[in-house]
Amino acid sequence: MVLGFFKSHVDNKYPTTPLKFTGKDSGEATLEDIISHKVPELYKGASFWYNPLLPSGDFQTAYTGLSKFESVDKVCYKRRILNIESEDKTYEVEGEKLKYDDWEGRSTIAIDYVVPPGREDPNHEKYRPVSQTKHLPPRTEYLNPEHELELLSDDSKPLVIALHGLSGGSYESYIRAFLSKVTDKPYDFDALVLNSRGCANHTITSPQLFCGLWTNDLRYLINEHIRPNWPNKRIYLIGFSLGGAICANYLGQEADNTYHNIKGGAIMGCPWDFPDSCIQLQSSLLGSHIYSPKMCNNLVDLLNEHYEGHLRSNPLVEAYKKNPENFKLGTLKAFDENFTSKLFGFNCADEYYRHASPIQRLLKVRVPLVIVNSIDDPIIGYRTLPFSEVRLNPFTALVTTTTGGHLGWFDYKGNRWYADPISRLFKELDDNWSFNKKSVDEKDLPFDTTKLWKYDRIIM
């Protein structure tokens, strides 16, 4: 009985009318069927042993933040700095052509491709763009552009695109734990990490950072880089924390127009309801005195790091640097109130939080999406996990654990519990199953409430 306290228990929620997959050999199955038979670690009733020294969400979360895990999951990367050519490349929504951003082709994003060990290039610095002034993270080198197409040339290997959490990057241990598994045998996926602007020692080249509703960097990467260069590449998305929110928001925005080669995704430790997550942080002792100030400090560090570059041209950032005493910082919400919301055109943090919450776009996701959250997550909480949305959307499934914290999920050996099961799920879907989103009867899909909404009011 005592040992039972050292187990984290798994539970699930599934749609009332789930998507039916077609087997490559024969037969049909739902996502629940596939998980229960092929990935039982993610199925309700499963459990995993956690380290008795990490018995709660706070301990799991703290261990994630305090240790760098440099002796394990030594993933190697080749970095490509991609220019966002926003002058002549647009994307279309309901017949209207939209720009990827307003910075007239000055913006760049940092893509880190996973490569096998042993491909070190002592001369990689000669491929460093002149715009990039920072030292690269560990085991990361600049990519020779002439070799980029070779990295993903094997169409038999699917591609994972990973998005990291707030102010993190490809070097984060929770991302490396997954990528080291999914790119190794028997899974053998290709993989890359899309770093948010200014993160992972990327030098930003336009006066913009990132937020949970900024999805255009992912959109540009897929539309303008992956699609034309590797048109047959099957894609799986995975997002962690804020990266999960960006990923979910992107898929919900794309909805029925999602690129046909995106075959599935996983969202890990996502803040589904930003206002509630803000309350969660403010209402706990550790949240208000440790987690929130730490996240704020990380963002302030980013602001300061990039000020001497292009951020100083932003009047708001310039005002802060001249008179920092006028800005009451110290918590994540204070930073979002003063900077994130304003830099992206919102009046205040609460308005940004309401618009950015991915729970309001989950009903429009049209690719198989597995959601993983821990009930004891001290950053996210559990009150507003998307239980109702999963029940209504045939393309989704929700996996919860009783212990795991925020992006922790450490088992008794110190390994991340999710890395192998999520890798196996992606492999199973890719090898043996296909789906046709048009085969879902419209009556089984959530009603599109935008049809009731016009001029900021209900019309009936």
Q: Do residue 429 and residue 302 come from a single domain?
A: no
Active-site positions read: 241, 377, 406
- Pick from 308, 323, 356: which residue ends a domain? 356
Give CA torsion, residues 403, 407, 413, 414, to 10 deg. Answer: -130
Using alpha carbons only, how large is the chain's radius of gyration in Å?
21
Q: Do residue 224 and residue 318 come from a single domain?
A: no
- Pick from 327, 356, 385: which residue ends a domain? 356
Q: Do residue 175 and residue 85 come from a single domain?
A: yes
Measure the CA–CA gap between 187 and 291, rounded to whole angstroms. Answer: 35
Q: Do residue 368 and residue 309 come from a single domain?
A: no
* Contacts with 200 (C-beta within 8 Å, 6 or more apart), sequence order: 110, 112, 137, 140, 164, 168, 169, 170, 171, 193
pLDDT of residue 185: 96
Q: Quick one: DSSP state of residue 41?
A: G
Q: Do residue 217 and residue 154 come from a single domain?
A: yes
Amino acid at the residue 45: G
Nearest to 129 by CA among 149, 151, 113, 106: 106
| Contact between residue 50 and residue 412 where contact means Cβ atoms under 8 Å apart | yes
Q: Quick one: DSSP state of residue 222?
A: I
Whether the pLDDT of residue 24 is over 80: the answer is yes
Whether the pLDDT of residue 237 is over 60: the answer is yes
Mean pLDDT of the chain: 94
pLDDT of residue 2: 47
Q: Do residue 379 and residue 348 come from a single domain?
A: no
pLDDT of residue 438: 82
- Band (pLDDT 50/70/90 cuts) for residue 4 is low
Does a structural domain hold residue 280?
Answer: no
Q: Which two tokens stand for residue 72?
A: 């394990």
Measure the CA–CA gap between 166 and 212, rounded to whole angstroms. Answer: 9
* Contacts with 229 (C-beta within 8 Å, 6 or more apart), sequence order: 148, 149, 152
Q: Do residue 108 and residue 253 come from a single domain?
A: yes
- CATH at residue 269: 3.40.50.1820
Give pLDDT tens digits for 104-122: 899 999 999 999 999 999 9
Q: Do residue 112 and residue 73 come from a single domain?
A: yes
Q: Do residue 63 and residue 104 come from a single domain?
A: yes
- Based on the structure, what is the number of domains in the chain? 2
- Pick from 356, 372, 405: which residue ends a domain? 356
Q: Do residue 325 and residue 427 come from a single domain?
A: no
Q: Do residue 342 and residue 212 come from a single domain?
A: no
Q: Do residue 184 and residue 312 come from a single domain?
A: no
pLDDT of residue 187: 98
Does a structural domain hold residue 460?
Answer: no
- Band (pLDDT 50/70/90 cuts) for residue 56 is very high
pTM for this model (two decimals): 0.96
Does a structural domain hold residue 444?
Answer: no
Whether the pLDDT of residue 336 is over 60: the answer is yes
Q: Which domain holds residue 350?
A: 286-356
Does a structural domain hold residue 115?
Answer: yes
Does a structural domain hold residue 24?
Answer: yes
What average pLDDT does this structure show over 439-456? 88
Does a structural domain hold residue 15?
Answer: yes
What average pLDDT does this structure show over 153-174? 96
- Band (pLDDT 50/70/90 cuts) for residue 1 is very low
Does a structural domain hold residue 2?
Answer: no
Measure the CA–CA gap between 43 and 34, rounded to whole angstroms. Answer: 10
Measure the CA–CA gap between 408 and 173, rounded to whole angstroms. Answer: 10
Give pLDDT tens digits for 349-372: 999 999 999 999 999 999 999 999
pLDDT of residue 75: 97
Does a structural domain hold residue 179?
Answer: yes
